A and B are shown apart, each in its own frame.
Chain A
Amino acid sequence: MSDQDSIYLDHAATTPCDPRVVDAMNPYFTEVFGNPSTMYEGGRKAKQALEGARETIANAIGAKPEEIIFTSGGTESDNHAIIGLAEAGKMKGKKHIVTTPIEHHAVLEPAEYLKARGFELTILPVDEHGIVHPEEVKKVLRDDTAVVSIMHSNNEVGTIQPLSEISKVTKEAGVPLHTDAVQSFGSVPVNVDDLGCDLLSISSHKFYGPKGVGALYVRKGTRIRPLIRGGAQERNRRASTENISGIIGLAKAAEIALAEMEVTSARITKLRDRLVNGLFNVLTDIRHNGHPTERLPNNVNICVRGVEGEAMLLFLDMKGISASSGSACSSGSLEPSHVLRAMGIPQEVAHGSLRFTLGKKTTEEQIDKVLAEIPAIVDRLRQMTPYQQPPEHYKMPEWLAAKA
């Protein structure tokens, strides 16, 4: 299969680097290679580039440059936010952390880590669409709450949280709010003042930048402890010689994403709707997962009755189509998607989950090719199945039926 024929629909996993990003990075490997902590010319040039990138990222999210910490990616940003806030809070006697069941593991596992070290952990409920309701947040906040972490948009089902409402609640209680905006940035507007968050994580490779670099925004005045120690870089908040080429790539990718977001997202939304509507046309007994309107422009998540996700992925792959699934079999851990489960979807239904995440190179022809290939794949697998999940889980949602 040539690259031209292959259809990549897993942009929530990662994106290809934009060639303009690679061009911007190139000089920083061999020419401007100095250590930004040094005072001679090579170091100064690197430092200048570093601070320019910081300004770009700050502008992109409505922050000040000194509020940006460069990291090794979304996972580190999330870890830093949760653990750093918890440790700073602990010094003031705080011992409670709050998060949601649909977070990325980069948030959930640090939260569990802290729980094992004496923190109390509250996991908020989400509704059937994966929404966290602000009243629920209000109910659980305490005087000793050190951190609330609620993702901006979900990587599996694309649901976007009412963060500006939630942040009113946390602000009133004086508790710092972190949001994982890894899937959002570059796809929907992300502004720290509009959202009202105190910390925010982004990851470069989700918006056509290089892997291994990201950023953490920390609102001025927020007390946070470092995660990585051993140097005075990033104003003593994150040790390690800066990944200059990566950071330049991150900034360039952010610049491009912002400049093109409106047009690209509008186009992708249309393709997404074409795919969702098409899937309900060509397949019987499927369900749609995620919020009807409050969702990312590029995410389609369905469950297909009577088939298992990994098996579908294998057949799709044989047709050159890359997608993803939340089924237990398709995960290394053999656990079904914790996101689908938290939304009340039974394990056996999550078993047939399938996610397509579109990108800026996705075309109408590609979507139509998927729609042409998938019925035969599902039929084949259904002919093999000894069991059909209960039918009540597979209905066309009203909002979709209304449009059809």
Chain B
Amino acid sequence: MYSDKVLDHFANPRNVGVIEDADGMGEVGNPTCGDLMKITINVADDKTISDIKFQTLGCGAAIATSSVVTEMAMGLELDDALAITKQQIADELGGLPPEKLHCSVLAADGLADAIKDYRSKG
């Protein structure tokens, strides 16, 4: 039911972990099924994401979307990273089964939360 790319990101997730003393941290949960995600970012020149790591407790799709969103966001300007949608995440993975689309929300929200956290520290 999962595409090869989903399975690849699930089995070999990129950027797993937590950045010590990160510039921004996002923590989001998925009320639908009780999954949790934490994203930490470092920001260079108050502009671009220079480092990003995630931790996720969740299904295969939740882990794969977390992983792929860190790849997508790495090196992006903050506003561009904020603009990443759940659909773009799903597309990047070659699609998700319909009942798993909501998992990509977690990834998009986690990233947005981390950026907001960074900005709130001003």
Binding site for B on A (CB under 8 A): 306-308, 310-311, 314-315, 318, 327-330, 332, 334, 336, 347-348, 351, 383-387
The CA-CA distance from A307 to B62 in the complex, in Å, is 12
B38 to chain A: which residues have CB within 8 Å?
386
Beyond A383-B16, A384-B57, A386-B56, whether A311 also contacts B63 by CB under 8 A is yes
Q: Once A and B bind, how many residue pairs between them come within 8 Å at the CB atom?
A: 68
Interface centre among B2, B37, B57 (most CB of A within 10 A): B57
- Assembled-state Cα–Cα distance A172/B33 (Å): 43
Are the CB atoms of B60 and A351 closer together than 8 Å?
Answer: no
Ordered by A's residue number, 19 sampled pairs between the chains whose C-beta atoms are within 8 Å are A307-B57, A308-B62, A310-B59, A311-B58, A311-B60, A314-B11, A315-B11, A329-B35, A329-B58, A329-B59, A329-B62, A347-B34, A351-B34, A351-B57, A383-B16, A384-B13, A384-B56, A384-B57, A386-B56
Measured CB to CB, the nearest residue on chain B to A382 is B57
Confirm or deny: B80 has a beta carbon within 8 angstroms of a beta carbon on chain A.
no
Interface: B82 (CB within 8 A) = no
Q: Please, what's the 1-or-0 string for B15-35, where 1 marks a CB less than 8 Å from any CB in chain A?
A: 010100000000100001111
B10 in the interface, Cβ–Cβ < 8 Å? yes
CB distance from B105 to the nearest CB of A (A): 13
Please list the 10 inter-chain residue pairs (A to B) with the smallest Cβ-Cβ separation, ordered nearest first: A329-B59, A328-B33, A386-B38, A386-B55, A310-B59, A385-B57, A314-B60, A387-B36, A334-B33, A329-B33
Which of chain B's residues 91-122 have a Cβ closer than 8 Å to chain A? 99, 102-103
* Residue on A nearest B55 in the bound complex, by CB: A386
Q: Are B99 and A387 in contact (CB under 8 A)?
A: no
- Chain B interface residue count, Cβ-Cβ cutoff 8 angstroms: 27
Interface of A is mostly: loop
Contact of B99 among A307, A332, A336, A347 (CB under 8 A): A332
Given A385-B57, A386-B55, the answer on whether A308 and B11 have CB atoms closer than 8 Å is: no
Q: Do most interface residues of chain B lie in helix, strand or loop, or is the interface mixed?
A: mixed
Given contacts A311-B10, A385-B36, A385-B56, 14 further A-B contacts (CB under 8 A): A308-B58, A308-B62, A311-B59, A314-B7, A314-B10, A314-B11, A327-B33, A328-B34, A329-B35, A329-B59, A329-B62, A334-B32, A383-B16, A386-B38
> Which chain A residues lie closer than 8 Å to B18 at the CB level?
386
Nearest to A310 among chain B residues (CB) is: B59
- In the complex, the answer to whether A384 meets B33 with C-beta atoms within 8 Å is no
**Are B63 and A384 in contact (CB-based, < 8 A)?**
yes
- A13 → B minimal CB distance (Å): 16
A381 CB to closest chain B CB (Å) equals: 8
Which residues of B lie under 8 Å from residue A383 when comparing CB positions?
16
A244 to B73, CA, bound (A): 61
User: Known contacts A306-B57, A308-B58, A314-B60: does B27 contact A386 (CB below 8 Å)?
Assistant: yes
Q: Which residue of A lies closest to B98 (CB)?
A: A332
Q: Determine how close the nearest CB of chain A comes to the CB of B30; give it in whole angstroms.
A: 9
Question: With the chains together, A206 CA to B102 CA distance in Å?
Answer: 33
Q: Chain B's nearest CB lies how many Å from the CB of A354?
A: 14
Minimum CB–CB distance from A285 to chain B (whole Å) comes to 14
